[in-house]
Amino acid sequence: MTTMNYAPHTTQAVAARATQLSKVYGQGETQVVALDNVSVDFAAGQFTAIMG
Q: For residues 50 and 43, is the Cβ–Cβ distance under 8 A?
A: no
For the entire predicted model, the pTM comes to 0.58
C-alpha 14/C-alpha 23 separation (Å) is 23
Mean pLDDT of 5-28: 87
Residue ranges per domain, the chain? 14-43
Q: How far apart are CA 48 and CA 8, in angstroms?
A: 16
Reported as a single tens digit per residue, the pLDDT across 27-49 is: 999 999 999 999 999 999 999 98
The pLDDT value recorded for residue 35 is: 93
DSSP 1-52: -PPPP-PPP----EEEEEEEEEEEES-GGG-EEEEEEEEEEEETT-------
